Structure 1
């Protein structure tokens, strides 16, 4: 049927088995055209027989294509074009009427499918109007056309089919909404994973490259004054570069971990290379794995900021079972944007997973800057 458009591409591809099930769901109801088909096949005149069978076949194919088109439009979340829906219904009705010379009064069985298609393709109000017209037509024509008789069976079939199609259409709509929600969840998950990877790469490379830059600068100054010390610093630069590369690979592979003990050792090396006196704890309390990792990230971010921005001469790191502090005697970040950079954003995100608080700003009662991460119940 020319009025039926080509079936659009399914935006949520499914297996061939389930696609075939969708087609069968529409085609199986065509069994109710069997009486009209039997009437057409028993016509004495060949042209009536051919016309009746041909229009019924075209009607069935048009109905199945219309159902599949409407189903895919709903799956894609796109509105069904009103003009095209009316054109489809008009084409189906025209095929049913065209088959009357071959099917006689049995053509009215096609009204059941026209009503069901209206429920599936049209908004509620016009669909109800079509259903009422399709239901009353057999009763009216049965009284007006001699030999047809009132088709009460068609009347009830139209109402029942419309009610069943109403349930099918609502189910299709809910499935489309569910699939759209799932697609949005997948998109947000990908965005979150990208943000996590970007955050981790920033935290890892920001710290490592800062230390590499400081040590390279120190090696340059010592090259003539103390070549042996310069060679040691260059060896440290090479080691740090390899560790940074390993961390990046670990981040991409999602198996890298950060520990407080490792970060304290790295902090001592970075602070010493920058000419900042490091005051670190002699021992560490037993910490749960998640808290140990969070405190490690806090030390990494705090020391990176001290080396980059503070201009400090001394940096102190304190660790308790419930909190970690990185404090210095310098000027802190040179601008507010430095204090709220990507590293601290990432640290706050990690802290929020443990309901921990992050404090960053000027030290009270003295010069310098303070970064503090405390889990619930931490004492000031």
Structure 2
């Protein structure tokens, strides 16, 4: 199973579950439950007023609650600035209108204003918190007529509650933003995993099919030339083309499922067959013993790409492969090619070598012809 397959479904289900839970009626009802704390303000309105004053106080309180619920349903935390400041102004106006009716108990409304301010402005809401806290402390103390009745002590508790609620909401919203960032990071990991898997499959399919189809083409051309003079040999070559085609199909399936990786011994055997079919004299090692374990897969890909390029592009008559514990080298007497060319074969090989912590050299050989050499760095070889 690929990394993308492991990450994507879990993340998608988790995010969808969170969105479903937080949407609909829960989005409004749960935060609005805390409006019950305004019963203290309503009690003060009933205590200090009669008739028209009491009705006015309740209407102002109802308008404040309505503005708070609208703020929740319209997602004021992320809405445009004019929307937030309009609701903020309505709530502050309601608080100011309630002060002469509920006295110090009106500052309970400031707690809800602070919640919205911190949710929208984060640390920039500090001046608003300080202003409401100072108002809850200083204003009731400055008005002698507010010093009587049970509501007179409400301002003291509210003055303490405003900064405490602001601090709690600041921490809560920080955690909330962290969760959103985490969900975004998980989504990005899923996307990158899927992209890496796509690149891997494209690279592996190129390497697998490029090698196999080159061999098939060479053998088909040989069979065509033999058809007129040696029907038996031509039929044998066609049979090998069929076998190679079946093997290529199996390799493609294996590459998609990441079930099989190439081996050095297998690539040497296939390479010997490929070079022979192309009429190139091959000098390949018979043993693969002593190769660093961590370089076996890399060297197999080097042999696959390198020998395929010799047949395709080198116009060579001889090819020699040298294997050591930490390096593989392919020499031919042809014209070679450019490692920086736009073709995806050698560029994909460079990516493999870089990922394995090795070095790659491709260019004219000192003895003439072309050389491709890949070596593990000493640090990598010793790990």
Q: 1: CA distance between counterparts of 2:45 and 2:39? A: 10
Match of 2:331 among 324, 327, 344: 327
Change (3 A) 1:161 1:50: closer
| SS at 1:318 equivalent | strand
Q: Any residues of structure 2 matched to 1:134-283 within 5 Å, and which? A: 134-139=132-137, 141-142=139-140, 147-149=145-147, 151-283=155-287
Q: CA RMSD in A?
A: 3.4
The offset of 1:282, in angstroms, is 2.3
What is aligned with 2:66? 58
- Map of 1:302-317 to 2, 5 A cutoff? 302-317=306-321
Can you list the C-alpha shifts for 1:232-262, whole angstroms capped at 9, x where unaligned? Answer: 2222222111111111111111212110111
Structure 2 CA distance for partners of 1:23 and 1:289, relative to 1, 3 Å: farther
Give 5+ residue unaligned stretches, structure 2. Answer: 1-13
- Residue 368 of structure 1 corresponds to 369
**8 Å CA contact 1:63, 1:113 repeated in 2:** no
- Listed as ranges, the matches of 1:334-353 within 5 Å are 335=338, 337-338=340-341, 341-353=343-355
Q: Name the structure 2 match of 1:76.
A: none
Please give the alpha-carbon distance, in whole angstroms, between the structure 2 residues aligned to 1:102 and 1:51: 11
1:119-175 C-alpha deviation (Å, 9 max, x unpaired): 2212644x2332233223345553676743462332222222222222223333333
Query: Secondary structure of 2:259's partner?
Result: coil
Moved more, 20-29 or 225-234: 20-29
Q: Quick one: distance in 1 between partners of 2:181 and 2:285?
A: 56
State how far apart, in whole Å, the 1-side matches of 2:314 and 2:372 are: 12
Give the number of the structure whose residues are more often helix, by fraction. Answer: 2
The aligned runs of 1:100-115 (5 Å cut-off) are 106-115=105-114
**How far apart are the structure 2 equivalents of 1:243 and 1:83?**
67
8 Å contact 1:49–1:102 — kept in the other structure? yes
Deviation, structure 1 residue 19: 3.4
Distance in structure 1 (CA, Å) of the matches to 2:277 and 2:197: 34
Query: Map of 1:61-72 to 2, 5 A cutoff?
Result: 61-62=69-70, 64-65=72-73, 70=77
Structure 1: how far apart are the matches of 2:340 and 2:326?
A: 28
Q: Secondary structure at the match of 1:225?
A: coil
Of 28, 32, 37 in structure 1, the residue corresponding to residue 37 of structure 2 is: 32
Distance 1:347 1:336 in 2: 10
Aligned to 2:118: 119
Tell me the alpha carbon deviations over residues 212-236 of structure 1, each in whole angstroms, 9 at most, x when there is no partner: 1111222222221222222122222
The count of aligned residue pairs is 355
Q: Is the 8 A contact 1:39 1:106 kept in 2?
A: yes
Post-superposition shift, 1:288? Answer: 5.1
Gaps (5+ residues) in structure 1?
1-10, 74-79
TM-score (norm 1): 0.80
